[in-house]
Amino acid sequence: MRTYWNTPGIPHKGWVLEYVIDIREDGQSVEETEYETCMMCNNERIRFVHVVSHKDFGEDLKVGCICAEKMTNDYINPKKRENSARNKTQRRINWLKKDWKVSENNNLYVKVKDHHILIYKDRNTKKFKCKIGEHFGKKQFDTIEIAKVAAFNGIEYFKEKNQW
């Protein structure tokens, strides 16, 4: 089977790791997961997809951790970024299992590290919205579950911006 490793014109070094995707970030089971195949070595069942770019190559490649390490000549950060993605997925799974309370107004809420997270139904649209601390979200969601995921993503955003 031909791989990009032995394809003329494909750079082997000088790639930049852009980001890492966890194929199972929604908590799918092993059986439900549609894994990726490494575009460099054709290794199948890649759960953590490392997206790399190269200034002399016209497209990003989706590769596994080992190929990302070789291509970027960085044997630390691809694994760190993969572990970060793995930890985020686990936090998200745990988040969805949280025991939410119901307020007098029939809204869901939970308190996390002195931050009050609220999910409520918009009176006009009948869709769900989120409030994280004093920040009201602008997006609306069809289900409570999707709103919970949005709240999680909002918290992750605030953490990245050091506002949590």
In a domain, 22, yes or no: yes
The domain in which residue 144 lies consists of: 101-160
pLDDT exceeds 70 at position 22: yes
Phi-psi region of 159 (alpha: psi -120 to 50; beta: other; left: phi over 0): alpha
Asked if residue 42 belongs to a domain, the reply is: yes
Residue 82 corresponds to which tokens in the numbers above? Answer: 């993969």
> Same structural domain for residues 48 and 108?
no
pLDDT digits (tens, 9 = 90+) for 77-98: 999 999 999 999 999 999 999 9
Q: How far apart are CA 121 and CA 148, in angstroms?
A: 13
Query: Is residue 84 situated within a structural domain?
Result: no
Q: How many folded domains does the chain comprise?
A: 2
pTM for the complete prediction? 0.82
Could you report the per-residue pLDDT of 127-157, keeping only the tens digit for each?
A: 999 999 999 999 999 999 999 999 999 999 9
- H helices of the chain, in order, are 65-72, 77-96, 144-160
- At residue 1, the pLDDT reads 61
Task: Give a yes or no: residue 83 inside a domain.
Answer: no
Closest CA to 43 of 51, 35, 34: 35
> Is residue 112 domain-shared with residue 68, that is, in the same domain?
no
Evaluate whether residue 106 is within a structural domain.
yes
Section 57-68 average pLDDT = 96
Separation of alpha carbons 86 and 123, rounded Å: 37
| Residue 64 phi, psi dihedral angles, 5° rounding | -80, 175
